[in-house]
């Protein structure tokens, strides 16, 4: 993989604007949630009010980020019954996603947070469980300085167009596909 070694100063053109951003971390590569958690941790370190909502992930799951958040008194709310490909009741999976979105809408509009993460939110949008138009309309109404980070594969084109910052994680090599190495605690969950 070639890199450009020439460094160029890229000055900001026009006025310097301060506003809360809508950030989307998408793509097939690993690191979408991890990147969002990095921002959450950075913001928390600056005494900003942070909260994370997880879609699809099992409500009672105790992944590493949940355990760390509890120790730091950071709120992570998971509402789901596990990943969609393992669902035994897709109607319940869809209903939980819609319920979580209603909770998220209230949090986004409440002006009680500086950073909100909607982890794996692209899936309910992609599958049509939550209308993309509803999500964008809610994001248009968010408080001016609220940053909202949305993660997950298959980000809808309308969301990508609306967002201020979009990063696509691209898989180049993966230990499971290449070597059969399964997800490991601390690295993937």
Catalytic residues: 28, 30, 32-34, 42, 83, 85, 120
What does DSSP assign to residue 61? -
Integer angstrom CA distances of residue 37 from 72, 128, 138, 160: 13, 26, 22, 20
DSSP string, 97-160: HHHHHHHHHHHHHTT--SEEEEETTHHHHHTTSS-HHHHHHHHHTS-TT-EEEEE-SS--HHHH
């Amino acid at each position: 993989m070639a890199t450009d070694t020439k460094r160029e100063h890229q000055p900001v053109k026009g006025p310097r604007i301060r506003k809360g951003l809508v950030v989307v971390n998408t793509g097939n590569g690993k690191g979408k949630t991890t990147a969002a958690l990095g921002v959450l941790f950075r913001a928390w370190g600056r005494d900003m009010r942070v909260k994370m909502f997880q879609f699809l992930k099992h409500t009672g799951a105790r992944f590493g980020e949940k355990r760390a958040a509890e120790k730091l008194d950071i709120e992570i709310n998971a509402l789901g019954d596990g990943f969609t490909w393992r669902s035994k009741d897709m109607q319940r999976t869809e209903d939980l996603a819609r319920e979580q979105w209603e909770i998220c809408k209230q949090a986004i509009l409440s002006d009680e947070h500086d950073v909100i993460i909607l982890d794996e939110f692209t899936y309910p949008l992609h599958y049509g469980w939550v209308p993309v138009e509803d999500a964008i309309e809610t994001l248009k109404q968010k408080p001016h300085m609220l940053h909202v980070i949305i993660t997950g594969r298959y980000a809808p084109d309308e969301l990508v167009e609306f967002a201020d910052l979009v990063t696509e994680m691209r898989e180049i090599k993966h230990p499971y596909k290449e070597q059969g190495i399964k997800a490991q605690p601390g690295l993937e969950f």
